[in-house]
Amino acid sequence: MTVFGPKRRGTARILSWNVNGIRAIRKKGLMPFIERARPDVLCLQETRAHKHQLDLALTDPPGFSAHFAEAEKKGYSGVCTYSRRAPHEVHQGLGRPKYDREGRTLITRVGALTVVNVYVPHGAGTRRDNSRVPYKLGFSRNLYQRLNRAKRAGERIVVLGDLNTAHRAIDLARPRQNLKTSGFLDEEREELDRWIRNGWVDTFRRFEDGPGHYSWWSQRIGVRAKNIGWRIDYILASPAAAPYLRDGFIWPEVAGSDHCPVGIDVDKAIFEP
């Protein structure tokens, strides 16, 4: 689709973007992006700031309710959800301190839709030795269990954010070279497989089955221009939410972060009881 193209009549737009620092992206044009993209819900990951460090444009943007989940460690992790409709329920975390202290989960109930903003841990570890893979898988499994009962009960749910996993070989430019790299390990891909097998819909693949579509690129010079990337940012829809999908897209033209925004357009009725 055309970036910032018009939404179809009767649809709402839900976007997700790992911004690699909300204060940095603010200086690079976050507010003009919001004005042009016109999201109804915008989920940001890797905000890397505490709320008191942000200006009013970020904490109280005109026309939006803003909610934050912060990491205990300064300058690390964090997620934020902006919604044009004020949520009537907001939950931070999964109820597990070992995961919640990193500020990776924010669950908001917007009308009849539950929006789950997540920043899944990377498994590589500080020494690039895949030492954080067990922590990553534990986080993902706890998230799955946290949502499974509501999904089985027929609730409308979208899970969106940086999942830090390329699901299939088509989802990264160089799969054979990355078989032992966190983000494309068998056990990480199997965890995402489990979601799909149990009814969650990869919304982008509902509308696009071709190669070459990525949402993250290394910051090494020339990598993004050559489109040597990974698709690690997703929006997953529960079976009850999937019928409301009208489009799924990635916007690689949007700069400012090593990730680009991903999104869906949905029938506005998704919010209604």
Catalytic residue flag (residue 162): yes
* Amino acid type, 5: G
Q: CA nearest 113: which of 247, 14, 37?
A: 14
Percent helix, strand, coil in the chain, to 5, is 25, 25, 45
Do 179 and 157 meet the contact criterion of CB atoms below 8 Å apart? no
Do 247 and 162 meet the contact criterion of CB atoms below 8 Å apart? no
What are 143's strand-pairing partners?
none
What are 91's strand-pairing partners?
107
The three-class DSSP label of residue 30 is: helix
Do 79 and 121 meet the contact criterion of CB atoms below 8 Å apart? no
**Residue 222 carries which DSSP code?**
T
The three-class DSSP label of residue 202 is: strand
Among 162, 171, 202, 265, the active-site one is 162
Q: Please state, in angstroms and rounded to a whole number, the distance separating the CA atoms of residues 7 and 56.
A: 28
Q: Please state, in angstroms and rounded to a whole number, the distance separating the CA atoms of residues 8 and 2.
A: 13
Do 115 and 154 meet the contact criterion of CB atoms below 8 Å apart? no
Strands 262-267 and 245-250: antiparallel
Exposed, middle or buried, 55 (CB in 10 Å: 0-12/13-18/19+)? Answer: exposed
Q: CA nearest 74: which of 121, 23, 130, 25?
A: 23
The catalytic residues are: 162
